[in-house]
Chain A
Amino acid sequence: MKQKSRLFYLALAVCLPPIGIILLAALDLIYFHENMEMLARSYVENFTEKAVARLEKSADGPIGDERIWNESGSMDLMPGFRAYMGLGRVPGMMLVLDKDGDFLYGSQVLYELIKSNKGLLPYGIAKTMHDESGDRFTVGAYSAFFGKYIVVGAIAWRDLPQSTSRSYYIWPFVTGFMGLWGAIAIWRLWKLVLKPLADLEREMSSLKWGEELPRKNEGEALFELRKLRQSFTRVAQDAINRVSIIKTCMNDMVSVAEAERTKISRDIHDGPLQDVTALIQRIHLAKLQDNAPEDTARELDLAEKIAMVTVREMRGLCDFLNPPWLELGLPQALTELTERQSSQYGVQIFLDVDDDAEFSEAITLSFFRVVQEAVTNSVRHGDAKNIWVDVKHDENGFELVIQDDGHGFDMHKNGTAALRVEGHRGLSNMEERMAIVGGRLKIISYPGEGTCIRGLIP
């Protein structure tokens, strides 16, 4: 979790400079624009005021203003003012209008500009206007001869003495563009690398190895990440294969062991057991001889007893290896088993099997072998006196619990792996038995507190 948020903050940190650059570029643009406006305004104001002053001054001269304006209508201005109006030397446009705003003299371009801006005349403070092609102008208007005429001055921004402005204007855009570029690059980085990486990490850490495969490549991701995902998929597939191989191996091992037990049991039954049975028959026949001395009869009785014990032992061995009661179902089989173990080991075994449950052959065999092993372990290693065996079937599945009152052992010191290394296969055998029927085995034991073995088949 902490790692994940760090990735997020890292991405944010990388994002910050481009965002800063974009903001600075915007501020720069606004600031520069304001500057330009101010400059243009003061320029226009200054130069229009000068024009008005010149006009009024010339009217004080030998040529009266009435004569100038009235006779010629417009053209007969004093040469100085006309020169000024021509604006040959300085940038800008001049226009003289009568008090109704009609054109008298000056720049036609400016007159058109004003008309296209609804005849608006910015008195006193120059304003920015746009012509039809979008060019920017700053226009200022002043009244002359006490309101008889209006003198309008204007400057196109492109003609400003700071005409470097245009190239300067590019800079905020350039920086802005760079910022934007950076942001897009980071967004792509997030989309192609960071997010797929985060997704992959989340998926891998929650993947059930040996059971699940990662999802197929979906959405955009960098080639390397796609390859990485593919590699993980291969590893996950390997894990699944390995689990299935282990399961197959375990299955094979157990079924080979079972087959082997069946074979040994059969061999004992068909070989030595028959031989000893024949021996008993011969002893019986010998005992039927009337003329045998007393000593011989006694010896024959003894021989018969020994042979009978041998037969019984071999039957026990056959039953242990290949319990014939398994065919009778789990409750019967466990009853037979625990009764035999109880009398064999001299312990009390309390068996409680859920009679209503139907147990498959595989489960019957697994539970049977687990109980067989567990009881033997309890007696041999735990020195238990009482053992409780419970088999239940409910909505959680089949459950087998074997509890004893023996010594118990230290689970952590003697894990099943460690025990296996030491040659004690009992617990692992039980685990395998449960695993091949899709179940789990849980062993809870503490020194001095007995052992509880719980097998669950969902």
Chain B
Amino acid sequence: MSINLILADDHPLTRAGLMAYLAKEQDFNVVGEYADGESAWNGIKELKPHVALLDIRMPGLDGVSITRKIKEEGLPVISLMLTSYDAQQYVLSSLRTGARGYVLKSSTADTLSRAIRIVARGGLYLDSEVASTVEEGENMSLEPISAREREVLLLAAKGLSGKEIASQLFISERTVQTHLASIYDKLGARNKTESMLLALKYGVVMLEELLD
């Protein structure tokens, strides 16, 4: 079964490159190609592709906003973010609005194809460059994360401050910090965003739990 795609990227050269990547795959069917967010959104509404490849930063509507609109309208379109580099906070916010993953534009054609196939099947794809500390293709045994830590992590991922998390869970702010430090340590993350992305990657939390 072929996968219908649309591609939105405001930069002509990278768009052409990505188109060339996609043309290599027999089962990929690019139904629309757009240089800005507005026309991409119109294309999505009209064509309802399986997967929308959206540049995370675009003039007018950016990828994150389009993803939010897709979710709001309940369109059966899966969005996959394209980014020039892993600006983690954009990535996380796109995931929170419902994107199923992100790919670096500089990744190989194989990587892009794999990502598209994974998200089209309903999976989650996070580029391996998500965290510099994670080694490619490793299958490290993760120290289990406690239920409380998971709770803290989820609230933190939703953008709550230490103080807010503390009051919501009826614990002290100090305890929140301790939990977060422990989470970073277990995931090998350096900060909140990274720990969230790694937790997603390792399946510690589900993407659905993150949604706004």
Contact = CB atoms under 8 A, between A and B. Distances in A.
B87 A324 contact: yes
A335 interface: yes
Contacts of A327: 89
A311 interface: yes
Contacts of A311: 84-85, 106
Nearest to A343: B132
B14 A339 contact: no
A231 interface: no
B188 interface: no
B173 interface: yes
A275 B15 CA distance: 10
Contacts, number: 80
B191 interface: yes
Contacts of A13: none
Contacts of A356: 162, 173
Contacts of A414: none
A269 interface: yes
Nearest to A270: B11
A341 interface: no
Contacts of A277: 11, 13-14, 17, 84, 105-106
Contacts of A318: 85
B173 A275 contact: no
B192 interface: yes
A332 B192 contact: yes
Interface residues of B, number: 30
B156 to A, nearest CB: 11
A274 interface: yes
B106 A285 contact: no
A336 B84 contact: no
Interface stretch (B18-26, B37-45, B140-148): B18-26
B67 interface: no
B4 interface: no
Interface in B166-199: 173, 177, 190-193
A327 B18 CA distance: 30
A267 interface: no
Contacts of B161: 358
A281 B87 contact: no
Contacts of B57: 269-270
Contact of B109 (A284, A324, A358): A284
A376 to B, nearest CB: 21
Contacts of A339: 190
Contacts of B177: 355
A284 B112 CA distance: 12
Given A273-B84, A288-B109, A278 B17 contact: yes
B192 A281 contact: no
A282 interface: yes
Contact of A281 (B89, B106, B193): B106
Contacts of B106: 277, 280-281, 308, 311
B14 A281 contact: yes
A332 B84 contact: no
Contact of A274 (B14, B108, B109, B193): B14
A328 interface: yes
B118 interface: no
Most buried by B among A275, A278, A325, A339: A278
A311 B86 CA distance: 12
A223 B10 CA distance: 74
Given A315-B85, A335-B191, A288 B14 contact: no
A16 to B, nearest CB: 74
Contacts of B88: 324
B16 interface: yes
Given A269-B84, A315-B85, A281 B191 contact: no
Contacts of B109: 281, 284-285, 288
Residue with the highest number of chain B CB atoms closer than 10 Å, among A277, A285, A327, A358: A277
Contact of B17 (A285, A324, A355): A285
Nearest to B88: A324
A278 B16 contact: yes
Contacts of B17: 277-278, 281-282, 285
Interface in B100-158: 105-106, 108-109
A355 B62 CA distance: 33
A336 B192 CA distance: 11
Contacts of B21: 281, 284-285
Interface in A44-73: none
Given A325-B191, A332-B191, 11 more contacts: A269-B84, A270-B11, A275-B13, A277-B105, A278-B16, A281-B14, A284-B21, A285-B20, A328-B192, A335-B190, A335-B191
**3 tightest A-B CB contacts, nearest first:** A281-B17, A278-B13, A274-B11
26 contacts: A270-B10, A274-B11, A274-B14, A275-B11, A275-B13, A277-B11, A277-B14, A277-B105, A277-B106, A278-B14, A278-B16, A280-B106, A281-B17, A281-B18, A281-B105, A284-B108, A284-B109, A311-B85, A311-B106, A315-B85, A328-B89, A328-B191, A332-B191, A332-B192, A332-B193, A355-B173
Interface of B: 10-11, 13-14, 16-18, 20-21, 24, 57, 84-85, 87-90, 105-106, 108-109, 161-163, 173, 177, 190-193
Interface of A: 269-270, 273-275, 277-278, 280-282, 284-285, 288, 308, 311, 315, 318, 324-325, 327-328, 332, 335-336, 339, 355-356, 358
